[in-house]
């Protein structure tokens, strides 16, 4: 009986083989519509890889949070201090989720330090959990401190 | 840039995909293997921008689409019939196979009385009643543009008519083509897919993947400026408008490669940030459309 890690490994190898097959098909398929069907299949397999990767990353993200608790020299922000990092007038843009403060200054989805009606310089734990719970996306952001 | 695009097969295919689909529809209609279907274009609370956009379609044009591919039974902006005579077209089509395309949001305040689209047997016919009546009978329902797909501008704060999306009042699958307005190709291509394959492949938000699968940011001709941290400081600068509030990184459409107004141009190429008009929640969640005095620090 294979372990969970071995099963994940086998599935990932299988997806890579399927991606290779689909990519090879793209070279000889003439019909544009068939090409789009193949592209969609490739896209859905990439999404599956992303899903598996997220599963692994969620574990890592928990490790990141655990590690942060252990870091004694991490900069501490009060809510008032965090509010100064609103991304206006050349200031960086920071937001906090679950007590961790992240830098979103150059994150593509935070154009002009705003994101779907939200602005930087705030604790957005509830908003994050309402839209992105279970998504391992915070580990892409630079951690700049913790909220106290 | 032009040289690069001219050798990109994906780009070339994108230009032809709608035409290829529609040619296939035409072939099958001529061979008798496919029947033309009735199409209703219902305008609710909106600005008529989507029908105007559709009239600007080029490949093929609107006349070709509506005379060869489908029987346009009802469009209050385009038909010559008036009053109850016009509404009778809606009533008569109920017992046939038809596709319902809806633009505009559904006004729900006072049981829909904020938007009366006509009269039937002396009684006001509200948009709410019409969309429910037709939506339940149609073979397919397509929500066209921002207002129909998620409320859009009509449902923006403070939303005086309590506008909602078409999906909010129908308990069935609604194919969603967001955009303010919807590109003519997105509508024509999706209609062709419906006629040929019955069910176009949709994403998790019921948008056709053929047109809505890729982020604008990922195909933006100014992407390299973003990657290198070179940002426009004002409108008119020819670099990445991320710091001005561009919503390309959160909006999925093919604007950068398809372009608008008969494939002439699109906002970013004309130095205007993407305002996320094809993203759910537009306009409220995509505001502010333009910001100065934001982070200016270049990428470290």
pLDDT per residue as tens digits for the range B99-131:
999 999 999 999 999 999 999 999 999 999 999
| Cβ–Cβ below 8 Å for A112 and B296 | no
Considering only CB atoms, A108 lies closest to which of B226, B273, B293, namely B226
First to last CA, chain B: 28
List own/partner pairs for B24-31 with CB under 8 A and 24 or more apart. Answer: B24/A33, B24/B192, B24/B196, B25/B69, B25/B192, B25/B195, B25/B196, B26/B68, B26/B69, B28/B196, B29/B68, B29/B69
For the whole model, what pTM was predicted?
A: 0.83
Cβ(B194)–Cβ(B100) below 8 Å = no
pLDDT digits (tens, 9 = 90+) for B30-78: 898 998 899 999 999 999 999 999 999 987 889 888 888 899 999 999 9
CA distance B58 to chain A (A): 20
- ipTM score here? 0.85
Considering only CB atoms, A106 lies closest to which of B213, B284, B299, namely B299
Cβ(B246)–Cβ(B204) below 8 Å = no
Peptide bond into B181 cis (omega under 30): yes
Taking contacts as CB-CB distances below 8 angstroms, the residues of chain B near A93 are: 295
Indicate the domain borders of chain B: 2-210, 216-286
DSSP state of B297: P
Cβ(B201)–Cβ(A36) below 8 Å = no
Helix axes A32-70, A4-28, angle to 10 degrees: 150
CATH superfamily of B216-286: Cytochrome-c3 hydrogenase, C-terminal domain (4.10.480.10)
Look at residues B177, B92, B167 and name the one whose alpha carbon lies nearest to residue B135. B167
Task: State residue A70's pLDDT score.
Answer: 59
Does the domain spanning B2-210 belong to CATH 3.40.50.700? yes
Task: State residue A34's pLDDT score.
Answer: 85
Task: State residue B3's pLDDT score.
Answer: 47
Work out the percent of chain A whose per-residue pLDDT is above 70: 91
Question: Which of A43, A112, A131 to mutate against chain B (most B CBs within 10 Å)?
Answer: A112
Work out the percent of chain B whose per-residue pLDDT is above 90: 80
Token duo for residue B188: 């024509």
Taking contacts as CB-CB distances below 8 angstroms, the residues of chain B near A41 are: none
pLDDT band at residue B300, thresholds of 50, 70 and 90? very low
pLDDT digits (tens, 9 = 90+) for B186-215: 999 999 999 999 889 999 999 999 999 999
Look at residues B90, B204, B207 and name the one whose alpha carbon lies nearest to residue B145. B207
Task: State residue B270's pLDDT score.
Answer: 94
Q: Pick the residue from chain A with its C-alpha nearest to B22.
A: A33
Identical topology for domains B2-210 and B216-286: no
pLDDT band at residue B1, thresholds of 50, 70 and 90? very low
Average pLDDT, chain A: 87
pLDDT at A85 over 60: yes
CA distance A82 to A84: 5
Please list the helix, strand and coil fractions of chain A in percent, rounded to the nearest 5, in that order.
55, 15, 30
DSSP state of B58: B
């Amino acid at each position: 009986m294979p372990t969970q890690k071995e099963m994940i490994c086998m599935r990932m190898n299988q997806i890579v083989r399927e991606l290779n097959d689909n990519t090879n098909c793209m070279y000889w398929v003439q019909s544009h519509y068939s090409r789009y069907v193949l592209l969609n299949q490739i896209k859905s397999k990439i999404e599956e890889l992303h899903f598996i990767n997220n599963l692994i990353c969620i574990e890592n993200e928990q490790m990141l949070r655990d590690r942060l608790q252990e870091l004694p020299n991490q900069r501490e922000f009060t809510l008032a201090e965090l509010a100064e990092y609103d991304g206006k007038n050349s200031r960086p843009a920071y937001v906090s989720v679950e007590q961790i403060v992240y830098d979103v200054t150059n994150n593509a989805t935070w154009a002009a330090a705003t994101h779907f009606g939200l602005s930087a310089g705030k604790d957005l734990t509830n908003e994050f959990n309402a839209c992105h719970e279970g998504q391992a996306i915070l580990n892409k952001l630079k951690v700049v401190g913790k909220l106290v | 840039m032009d040289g690069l695009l001219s050798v990109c097969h994906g780009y070339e295919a994108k230009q032809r995909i709608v035409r290829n689909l529609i040619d296939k529809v035409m072939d099958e209609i001529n061979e008798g293997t496919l029947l033309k279907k009735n199409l209703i274009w219902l305008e609710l609370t909106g600005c008529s921008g989507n029908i105007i956009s559709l009239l600007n379609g080029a490949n093929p044009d609107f006349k070709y689409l509506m005379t060869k591919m489908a029987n346009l039974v009802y469009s209050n902006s385009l038909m010559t019939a008036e009053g109850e005579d016009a509404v009778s077209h809606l009533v008569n089509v109920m017992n046939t196979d038809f596709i319902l395309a809806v633009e505009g949001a559904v006004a729900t305040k006072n049981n829909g009385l904020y938007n009366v689209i006509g009269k039937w047997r002396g009684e006001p016919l509200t948009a709410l009643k019409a969309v429910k009546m037709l939506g339940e009978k149609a073979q397919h329902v397509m929500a066209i543009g921002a207002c129909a797909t998620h409320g859009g501008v009509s449902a923006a704060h403070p939303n005086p008519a309590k506008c909602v999306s078409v999906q909010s009042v129908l308990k069935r699958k609604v194919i969603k083509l967001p955009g303010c307005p919807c590109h003519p190709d997105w509508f024509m291509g999706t209609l062709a897919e419906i006629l040929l394959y019955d069910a176009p492949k949709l994403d998790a938000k019921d948008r056709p993947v053929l047109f809505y699968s890729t982020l604008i940011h990922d195909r933006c001709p100014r992407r390299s400026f973003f990657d290198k941290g070179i940002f426009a400081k004002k409108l008119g600068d020819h670099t990445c408008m991320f710091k001005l509030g561009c919503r390309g990184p959160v909006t999925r459409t093919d604007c950068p490669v398809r372009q608008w107004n008969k494939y002439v141009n699109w906002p970013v190429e004309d130095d205007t940030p993407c305002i996320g008009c094809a993203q759910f929640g537009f306009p409220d969640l995509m505001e502010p459309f333009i910001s100065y005095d934001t982070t200016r620090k270049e990428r470290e």
